[in-house]
Amino acid sequence: MTCSDVRRVLPEFLDGASEGAFPTDFETHVKSCPACSDLVSDLKLISSEARQLAATEEPAPRLWVRIAAELRAEGLIREPESPPTRPLLVPTSQPRRWSAWWLAPVAAALLAAGSYVVSHKPAPQVAKEQAPATPLTTPAPAPMTPAASPASVPTSAPALAPQQLAKKSAKASDVVASATAVEPEPSAEDQQFLSVVSTRAPSMRATYENQLKAVNAHIREVQAYLDRNPGDAEARQHLMDAYQQKALLYQIALDRIQ
């Protein structure tokens, strides 16, 4: 059997034709020919790696908001007269025991930190070590103002003054450090976020927790790739998208809790 013969029957071989369906000299040739051996190995690898791509992408949280709005507009969602339970994260008429105002600045901070990370090369290790451990979980205790409402949370990086930049640098470094770890504990702001969801809509906690895990894992993955390929502009855009997704997750929760 020649290389040309191997290439002719290769598609069937790769599609898993039963053993024995191939002439023995196929295997013999592949074993003895480095070029054919590499070809078979590579095509098997591509095929198996491609399978891992199914269901890896997380849509932006706004997608469900858009779908739900359309379902309502079309009258497909029928509001129950007296729902026995409140399975979704919907507003209640009971007095609010505490406010979730802090979600808006956290969402904004996430976007700012994300835009910093993607628009700058990763901070040198020395800078990370010297940076004060400013946690992301201490947003300024400002009241909920229209400017801080979810609708106005910026979708692009805000311009930062040098002092702000220094603060963001520390925050971004923290985010990057936590993002590169394997399955780290949820950050303090994520824990606080989930705590709010648990209290206000316990049945939705698992959903939001899974979404947070997914987006955090995506951030870690892209960040790790960027660490290896710091000049890759497309990967930086992926990272910015991931941070935007996380910020949107907070925004949507805020919309529903308020």
**Site residues, other proteins (CB under 8 A):** 4, 8, 10-11, 14-15, 34-35, 38-39, 41-43, 45-47, 49-60, 63-64, 66-68, 70-71, 74, 76-80, 87-88, 207, 210, 214, 221-222, 225, 229, 231, 234-235, 238, 241
Q: Which is nearer to other proteins, 241 or 255 (CB)?
A: 241
- Closest distance to other proteins from the beta carbon of 94 (Å): 19
* Gyration radius (Cα) of the chain, Å: 25
Q: Which is nearer to other proteins, 109 or 118 (CB)?
A: 118
Q: Which is nearer to other proteins, 165 or 224 (CB)?
A: 224
Q: Which is nearer to other proteins, 77 or 147 (CB)?
A: 77
Q: Are 240 and 215 in contact (CB under 8 A)?
A: no
- Closest distance to other proteins from the beta carbon of 171 (Å): 25
- Closest distance to other proteins from the beta carbon of 76 (Å): 6
Amino acid at site 77: I
* Distance, C-alpha 218 to centroid of its chain: 4
Q: Which residues are within 8 A (CB) of 70 and not within 5 positions of it... i.e. 6 or more apart? A: none
Q: Which residue, chain included where needed, has tokens 């497909």?
A: 76
Structure tokens at 122: 């990763």
Instruction: Of 199, 195, 198, 203, give the one whose Cα is nearest residue 84.
Output: 203
- Closest distance to other proteins from the beta carbon of 6 (Å): 13
- Closest distance to other proteins from the beta carbon of 248 (Å): 12
Q: Which is nearer to other proteins, 46 or 188 (CB)?
A: 46
CA gap 245, 194 in Å, rounded:
16
Q: Are 39 and 7 in contact (CB under 8 A)?
A: yes
CA gap 65, 69 in Å, rounded:
6
Q: Which is nearer to other proteins, 47 or 138 (CB)?
A: 47
Torsion angle in degrees (nearest 10) through CA of 243, 245, 247, 253: -160
Q: Are 200 and 257 in contact (CB under 8 A)?
A: yes
Q: Which is nearer to other proteins, 64 or 164 (CB)?
A: 64
- Closest distance to other proteins from the beta carbon of 142 (Å): 32
Structure tokens at 127: 């800078």
- Closest distance to other proteins from the beta carbon of 198 (Å): 17
